[in-house]
Structure 1
Amino acid sequence: MMDITFTLTILAAALATYATRTAGYVLIKSMDTIPPRMEAALNAVPAAVLAALVAPSFVYGGIDVTITMIVALLIGLRAPSLVMLGCAWAFLVAFRHFVM
């Protein structure tokens, strides 16, 4: 049986998500041109989201995850994303098998 507080919390989160996405769309559509500062801020969003997703694992994920992320970064500087992902996965499996 669902708790009413839990259900209301999920509905409030869904409403807040919908409202922010809709407001952003309406704001952008109402402008004739996007100001340069806003465009720069919007261009920075993907990197900020990626950093927010990766940073906790890098700091708290353990030495194996931290070393694998460094290896993935180094490979990613020279290789395509799929190659980097495969190499990092293989490195992590080997590191856990032989070192840990």
Structure 2
Amino acid sequence: MIPLSTVLTILAMLAVTYTTRIPGYLFLRDRTISPRLQLMMEAAPGCILISVIAPHFVTGHPADLIALVITMVAAARLPMLPTVIIAIVAAGLLRQIL
């Protein structure tokens, strides 16, 4: 069972993330943006995600470390959604096995 404090923390992070992203999209909706700016805006969610989950991997649990490597390989080759799905599945399966 996931502790209530964890669920509330995740929901708070979700709210803050979208609260900071929505004004940017509203501000830029009628403007043409450069490919460089668009790439930066698309990369920002990944940076936020890794900053939240990275400290968890210093635990040294083998399943988490292997899942991190799998996720990094997937992230180098795939878009965000498949990478997140692969990461979740890898972490879940490896935690059951190891």
TM (norm. structure 2) is 0.48
Greater C-alpha Rg: 1
Q: Pick 1 or 2: higher relative contact order, CA cutoff 8 A, min separation 6.
A: 2
